[in-house]
A and B are shown apart, each in its own frame.
Chain A
Amino acid sequence: MSKDIRIKKGLDIKLIGEAQHELDQSPMSEYYSVRPEDFHSIIPKLVAREGTTVKAGETLFYNKANESMKFVAPVSGEVVEVERGPKRRIDAIKIKAAATQEHLNHGKFDLGNATAASVKEHLLASGCWPFIKQRPYDVIANPDNTPKAIFVSAYASAPLAADLDFTLAGKESELQAAVTALGMLTEGQLHVSVGKKANSPLAGLNGITLHKVSGPHPSGNVGTQINKIDPVNKGETVWTVAAQDLVIIGELLLTGNFNPQRTIAFVGSGVSKPRYIQTIAGAQVSSFLLKDGVEKGSNQRVISGNVLSGKQINEDGNLDYYSNIVTVIPEGDDYEFFGWNKPVFDKISPSRALTFSWLTPNKKYDLDTNTNGEHRAFVVTGNYENYFPLDMYPMQLLKACMYQDLDEMEALGMYEVAPEDFAITEFMCVSKQPHQKIIREGLDLMLKEIG
């Protein structure tokens, strides 16, 4: 059964530096890092101490709250450093890649005789579980729950996002294996959303409920789709998996190897030849950054993720565990003379207050990281609603998070949202409020207080 989802509220942010459909193989990175902070709210218990040699797929650490949930090495090699922060918090586990890669084989999984319990056990032990996230709270799914539905968005609407139709092409068998296994974990349906005009490799899968999505960003956000298809109510849980992570799960099930290889989009106006690159989660971005990419010594921001929700990393930073995109845009650490009152043609504005982006809806912009103004209290009202497709009141919810009123957060729909759902309102916020951070902190508070 196919249902169409049409999103009207939103904004497509068109930027320079979209990836050409061209695939480059990245050379092997010297070091790979796994950062526990990528797995929000997980407290790691280290297994692989410094000096240990690990195979790809071997446990690095496990979840302190649930020992069966393993986090594994993306490559084989030696753990050379465990970077620690204050209070001996583990910041990163750094692996020096071995010259020849070896995988720890978890064994081919027999899907025919599988049960929900056996699927869970297999994914937990093999390091694939962290790819499954849950709402409420936007954290790694609690394996003790049974979700009412599982959602996969195979439509990317974020600025410069990787074209999933391109990066996932030819992976049908892995995708099918993954959705078959995941389908056993829920009592309800496994919803997959594809672009309306897209030719998605996910469209032909069995055992899914297919939805066709159209409209501006954030139509591709899984949170938007959940809200339109089957919103999360109090006491309910849904799980979400990113489409590109299905491939990793699928490969594990079919071959027994954990192979977090990713086809990432290497994009942004700072990249001389935006294109797709094949690399591995946790790789140093320097392994591909300079070749046909970023000019050395230029003042650029390197982001693991998209420009709206990604993480700022330096040129010697690492691809984070979930991203399938690396964006490079110019830093904006310069003053602009009379920037607040002169007419503006080269930046995006949701208003027409001497800003003229409304004249050229299809123009591609070269935006930098300047905030274009200072942080202020919430003043302007009613403009978030124009870009926020979820059926709730975004500003009221943000304020409830700020004054930490749990009842109000719950009533206003906090169980349904993830920080990324507030990326578009944060982008256009006149008061330059950090919406995603406010929501993240609100979710953390709820998780702590309500659980």
Chain B
Amino acid sequence: MSLKSKLHEIKESFKGKKMAPAFNALHTFLYTPNEVTHNGTHIKAVDDLKRTMNTVIIALVPCLIFGIFNAGYQHYLAQGMIEAADGFLGASFWTWDNFEIGAWTILPLVVVSYGVGLLVEFIFAVIKGHEVEEGYLVTGMLVPLIVPVDIPLWMLAVAVVFGVVIGKEVFGGTGMNILNPALTIRAFLFFAYPTWMSGDKVWVHGAVERDQMIAAGQTNLDAISGETILGTYAQNGVTNYDYWDMFWGIIPGSVGETSKFLIIIGAAFLIFSKIGSWRIMLSTVIGALAMGLIFNAVVDAGIITESSKFYGLMDVPFWQHLIIGSILFGAVYMATDPVSAAQTNKGKWIYGFLIGFISIMIRVFNPAYPEGVFLAILLMNVFAPTIDHYVVQGNVKKRMKRLKVKAA
């Protein structure tokens, strides 16, 4: 008996039972179901939600792989064991050693994120008796990419449970949520465990451990400092990284967000495959540049001087805001989440622009939380339905006007 007919039999035996959604979720991963249309359209286009989500995951894989190498690279570099890599193809970057230690740090994050998240999804699907929806496939991939490398796994697990339950399931599951679940998870981590989410110790694998060893009295060790560029600027410091390092991504930061180069490639893939909204991506970038220009103008006008604590970030040339921090990652993979974003095309322009604008504003004005992107996106998630409401009202008004012209 072939695998196909065997699985079909098992599916039939589960029919009507409580565990059916759990089995079906696994089954449909292997085989698209034998479901046929009834009335309505008798044929359907090939795209389904799984394919859509899968496309986003494909676009994220390069970021993940790069993140793995970068975790190892930052670890060894901070310990002074390797030379700094020269550019994207630098010899000391793409090494087996880097990969090994990176994989050992980051793959557990991926496993915990998917394992815990999907478990929650399965439980909800079985309790509520609906099929397991694919929303978490992307969320589960995003979460490990937007956290610091050394985040303890139990914290991640707690945050994932919180994010999936409060961020999504209480609203009715995939398609009904107001906030982006991945960002809800990050926000939870940020506010619940701030020491693990910011500062200069969390971005490089081993830095915290090293600190603890020094505190325990080992004097022959130097502390590892792995401050992000944003952190440096926020303290009016001067960074040692050049623009190309930032662009290629060989800098400390959250796991998957550092390589702007690979993010741009992912964005190109998403736009080409028509899965990601180019309107949101483009307008977010425009919004960020606009805010950057305003700050530059303020500095040029002499309103803010070097003595100000905002000077460091305000003085950053406007275009550099795009290659530091996670603004690009947020614009491409987070802001474009179709459920929590604005849903009308006009609305998407406004929504994206405001995300970019507010991201840079938070980044500059709130040195305690230099990474404002996730807060800006969450804020705009909340306002997206309002934006849509006014856009749709425009169409409604047009229809009303048509009636009035007739009546007059």
Contact = CB atoms under 8 A, between A and B. Distances in A.
Interface of A: 13, 15, 159, 231, 233-236, 301, 303, 307-312, 327, 329, 331-341, 344, 347-355, 357, 367-383, 385, 391-393, 395-396, 411-413, 423, 426-432, 434-437
Contacts of B396: 411-412
Interface string B18-47: 000000000011111111111111111111
A354 B51 contact: yes
23 contacts: A233-B403, A301-B36, A307-B41, A339-B31, A348-B46, A349-B45, A350-B47, A353-B55, A353-B273, A369-B43, A370-B37, A371-B36, A373-B51, A375-B131, A376-B134, A377-B133, A377-B172, A382-B338, A396-B388, A426-B40, A427-B45, A429-B45, A436-B39
A435 B272 CA distance: 27
Contacts of A370: 32, 34-37, 44
B402 A231 contact: yes
A382 B348 CA distance: 9
B44 A432 contact: yes
Contacts of A329: 42-43
Interface stretch (B117-125, B173-181, B182-190, B211-219): B173-181
B33 A374 contact: yes
Contact of B44 (A333, A353, A372, A393): A372
Interface residues of B, number: 63
B398 interface: yes
A355 B47 contact: yes
A233 B51 CA distance: 40
A94 B63 CA distance: 66
B79 interface: no
Interface stretch (B94-102, B237-245, B339-347): B339-347
Given A233-B406, A376-B134, A427-B43, A381 B338 contact: yes
B172 to A, nearest CB: 8
Nearest to B28: A374
B35 A379 contact: no
A306 to B, nearest CB: 9
B4 interface: yes
A340 B54 contact: yes
B37 A352 contact: no
Contacts of A396: 343-344, 388, 392
A15 B41 CA distance: 14
A350 B33 contact: no
B48 interface: yes
Given A332-B36, A377-B172, A393-B395, 14 more contacts: A233-B402, A327-B42, A337-B4, A340-B48, A341-B50, A351-B275, A353-B54, A369-B42, A372-B32, A372-B44, A372-B46, A427-B41, A428-B47, A436-B41
Contact of B274 (A233, A327, A353, A413): A353
Residue from the set A351, A354, A413, A436 with the largest chain B CB neighbour count within 10 Å: A351
A347 B47 CA distance: 9
A426 B403 CA distance: 29
A13 B274 CA distance: 19
Contacts of B31: 335-339
Interface in B125-152: 131, 133-135
Contacts of B35: 333, 370-371, 374
Interface string B43-86: 11111111110110010000000000000000000000000000
Interface in B186-211: none
Contacts of B388: 396
Contacts of B38: 312
B46 A349 contact: yes
B281 to A, nearest CB: 13
B277 interface: yes
Contacts of A428: 44-45, 47
B385 to A, nearest CB: 11
Contacts of A15: 43
B399 interface: yes
Interface in B272-315: 272-275, 277, 279
Contact of B41 (A231, A308, A350, A353): A308
Nearest to B7: A335
A206 to B, nearest CB: 28
Contacts of A334: 34
B55 A354 contact: yes
Given A369-B37, A381-B343, A427 B44 contact: yes
A51 B277 CA distance: 64
Nearest to A423: B41
Contact of B40 (A13, A383, A435): A435
Given A335-B33, A353-B47, A391 B175 contact: no
Nearest to B403: A233
B341 A381 contact: yes
A378 B175 contact: yes
Contacts of A335: 4, 7-8, 31-34
Contact of B42 (A308, A374, A413, A430): A308
Nearest to A383: B274
A396 B395 CA distance: 11
Interface in B9-24: none
Contacts of A427: 41, 43-45
Residue from the set B34, B58, B174 with the largest chain A CB neighbour count within 10 Å: B34
A336 B273 contact: no
Nearest to A369: B36
B274 A374 contact: no
A209 B95 CA distance: 74
A329 B47 CA distance: 20
Contacts of B39: 311-312, 436-437
Contacts of A353: 47, 51-52, 54-55, 273-275
Contacts of A312: 38-39, 42
B48 A307 contact: no
